[in-house]
Structure 1
């Protein structure tokens, strides 16, 4: 009878140890899966950050190009205004000359 009890206890212990080993293996697998998920998330975060930085750099370059184009356009406009002002002055002087010539002809 004692031998049967000892045998039963040994079988129960072996089963408990097997279940504990299975539980430990499952826990290790969950831990590995969690670590892999963390690495994957960190890699995705790095990629997203790099992409955002690249887009920001492109946007900054585009903004600078737009500012430069605006400066060039303003310079062309200033030159055109100066040219028109010079033309007005020339036309006014010629008009005055014509008026004087007409008065002299009378």
Structure 2
């Protein structure tokens, strides 16, 4: 939540759709719903890559709304398939710095 413009953040298991932890959110952002919905986004993209026979992995996914950015950073930890989800207020956020912050968190995160 220390990223400029952060509205909410969650760590999610995308095999089950379960949130392992979250911070922020509130009236304008239900992190439980967002976590479950973004699980479906990731599953669809993984299936698409498989159907296209693209042998590569997803680093992150950006969803741009009129007033928000939603960043999804995929993580692989000991066989667990997780993602970091970060919702940002577009008027206060720096997208490049937010992506850099998620990469740094990815490197430092141990489970």
Instruction: Provide the TM-score with structure 2 as the length reference.
Output: 0.23
Larger strand percent: 2
Larger helix percent: 1
- Specify the structure having the higher radius of gyration (Cα): 1
More relative contact order, 1 or 2 (CA 8 Å, 6+ apart): 2
